[in-house]
Structure 1
């Protein structure tokens, strides 16, 4: 079998690349190989089931509970700090866009000069201005809703959809940030807002059920791929599910010439020759595929003669801080299922050497849950007292950490060297991750800074705040 382009994976990167290739040449031959299965989207029955059970239809295709050290499971944690993968990835058509939050931040100009500014990592070979037009393209592909007037970053093209307005739930943190003269703005998010632009997908209806969108307003790569096939005359585009790519084939001259994959349903192995191979299987699986693509030219895996593939694993630790509102006269409770307010005040060059971070007002910042009160059989008076009385209020955030050579992802193996496979048929993952020695002190500094915001909100910090030291909330990246 011979094709022009093989793309490994069917997530956001695969979809964007396929669209570009076919826009340039509608007759191009493009084969997308996806290890997972199809999960039905925009289905009213599945949405009702989710509403009743809170179980999403793609849950069975996410990483299983993480095995801490020697506990049996899908993956192995071998570093000094556990990095849970549970719930972080979806092995299905469309990849992790089936459940991602859709936060669509741009890097800031100083991020392109990390080495020069901090002595850590490397500088990019180009700067923000050179990448800016491509950010615009990506935002239009993702259908991002954002504030085009935000002065934080210069832009050459407006967002395709206007920003979602702040909610009443955002008021406490907005008031606190204003008192301290800290900047904040609208969170750019890949959900179609209200716009005059035509679209085959419905705009966001803010049902508060974003983990399963009944309209297709949240970007999901599988919906885009389906549209490609249905609405365009691209005879060379095909998607094959249940196709697990085992390795990338080279020609003995250090050039790639195709891939070997096996069919989950039949168990048969097949080679596909291609003029180009694009690896878009996500950070972890892409690194593992390169590592196991061993040949006479690449004895440590494709492109891995210097043992760098899979190293410098980076995550964005997610943290939660809580204060106590003495009263809730505005009767604040969750309105939507995604945040609308973000502060990048500490995502700044002065914070870069220590670790920049963003703060968001979560959609359920105030902890009151009407459903819980109803299930307890509380009276109207009891519910009103609980709602308007003392309530916890949270601020969430994500912090940057630096890549380290010793933090890496590899293929998990048995003691005898035999590769272990997960239930999908993909080799399991071994994560080696150890947080920096000064990370805990940095989090204490962040806690003090966020504590000032909580005090300005008249919601003094309470209890023990929680930081998921290595929880992957956005896809991690490797060098």
Structure 2
């Protein structure tokens, strides 16, 4: 259990343990919970603090007040979280990540999908990119487990989704009023719409309340109805795991032969460094910090970093790209802002071939820019009081937006490196992100925009903005930086997610993705993590 001393939490290392996990987000929490429940000694190290659930209402207040930026909600920023960005496109890393117990699941929107069967075989299907060394059938039982563990509300009404036998743990959320507006237009255009599965409770589940409708799911759910990894952190601790917060791992140290990791060296707020020894190590700190840690762990024997004999640690960085079209219609479009998506279309997901990648359409429950926020930035002539109220009555609530996620074609040149010229609060080089778009990814975004514009035209909407290839941004889904494969010269981890170079180092993360598809990655991360836990039980 998490020890206490007279001076506060005990952050000293445990005696050599069975498993040391780096990162207490969904991946690390699921592995820790599964292994601790099975009776293994587990220590989890996380760079950030424990956030008090009581503070979530106050963090929601930060979210809805225009004076606060997204980083302030979960205390991101400063030397600890420094990074640099190079390449064609700037990557705003800290805008949507959290360091702390629970990780970025404290911030996420809660959208969960199984990758399509073709996503595991893009080279075979499309003749471009690459195939994973595992397929949908390998993942299928773990997807079902992950849906149960997270608690997913959904319906089996998506004709384009991969096959499944089990019903979702909870029923889907009902479509919103604006969904019905989009459904009419899509029916006229021959576009099939369907529900969107969600890791939030449509009814009481697993000791957590149903969704209370705060509408601030991203970046904070005050009620706990949306899943976050503190659920499995608590289970792990109840089963005997030790979870140490504010313990950023500085480097991994290997044995003399260079075949195994011996210890994770971590820092504590008192300025001390400690060595946590273990038989097995699981890296679960996400697609940016995992390659950074491996690169920081260079040695005389491994001058290019650990697990990097292929030279691919940090390479093939991918994200999902936004495609959006929004505007106004001459009718009311909403009753309440629910804060998450309830209707989508995957109709055009798998028909791109070599020309373009997958994309999905999302129909936003969206009211448009806040009149209050606009007033705060408009200066002394902004309307206030009764004038602002009249503006809200006249012009608020007639917005519609079709958005979507677009796949990014993996490129070796997109990468995470160390920047020795900029250091964090411990003097370590910060991650430097090199990110750009290739022509195939641009064509994917253009194809999504074309469908979105057709829908808005069918609705006689006045289009007010288009987010396309030249002004797109990331979904903050960090994928591909320790890719999976069977050939040690072309990949970092094997099909079991164990590194080729170090026999006791495992990676539970979207960093192992070979391709990213166009679907939010958390359910696949969770399924892979449960699979890693199974493989670990086989070697412990």
Same topology, TM > 0.5: yes
Structure 1 residue 182: Cα displacement: 1.2
Q: Please point out which of 79, 82, 97 is paired with 1:89.
A: 97
Change (3 A) 1:427 1:365: farther
1:137 aligns with 2:145: yes
Aligned partner of 1:29 in structure 2 is: 41
CA distance in 1, matches of 2:430, 2:65: 30
CA distance in 1, matches of 2:426, 2:178: 41
Aligned partner of 1:474 in structure 2 is: 477
Aligned partner of 2:362 in structure 1 is: 360
Change (3 A) 1:42 1:114: farther
**CA-to-aligned-CA distance 1:300-342 (integer Å, 9 cap, x gap):** 11110121011001111112212431x11x4525421111111
Contact 1:144 1:191 in 2 (8 A): yes
* Structure 1 counterpart SS, 2:479: coil
Contact 1:169 1:366 in 2 (8 A): no
Q: Please point out which of 376, 386, 401 is paired with 1:377.
A: 386
Aligned partner of 2:131 in structure 1 is: 123
Change (3 A) 1:318 1:331: closer
**CA-to-aligned-CA distance 1:185-215 (integer Å, 9 cap, x gap):** 11111111115x5x22212111223232222
Structure 1 residue 297: Cα displacement: 4.0
Structure 1 segments of 4+ aligned residues over 6 angstroms from their partners? 370-374
Contact 2:317 2:479 in 1 (8 A): yes
Unaligned runs of 5+ in 1: 66-72, 415-419
Aligned partner of 2:223 in structure 1 is: 215
> More deviation in 363-372 or 280-289?
363-372
Aligned partner of 2:315 in structure 1 is: 311
1:435 aligns with 2:433: no
CA distance in 1, matches of 2:282, 2:48: 18
CA distance in 1, matches of 2:64, 2:158: 39
Unaligned runs of 5+ in 2: 1-14, 376-382, 484-540
Aligned partner of 2:416 in structure 1 is: 409
Change (3 A) 1:2 1:466: same
Structure 1 residue 401: Cα displacement: 1.2
Aligned partner of 2:293 in structure 1 is: 289
Q: Please point out which of 455, 479, 484 is paired with 1:453.
A: 455
CA distance in 2, matches of 1:87, 1:57: 5
CA distance in 2, matches of 1:394, 1:331: 10
Structure 1 residue 365: Cα displacement: 5.1
Aligned partner of 1:38 in structure 2 is: 50
> More deviation in 5-14 or 467-476?
467-476
**CA-to-aligned-CA distance 1:75-124 (integer Å, 9 cap, x gap):** 21221222221312111111101101111111111111111122322212
Change (3 A) 1:121 1:298: farther
Aligned partner of 1:183 in structure 2 is: 192
CA distance in 1, matches of 2:63, 2:294: 40
CA distance in 2, matches of 1:380, 1:278: 54
* Structure 1 counterpart SS, 2:362: strand
1:154 aligns with 2:134: no
1:200 aligns with 2:201: no
Contact 1:299 1:305 in 2 (8 A): no
> What is the TM-score normalised by the length of structure 2?
0.77
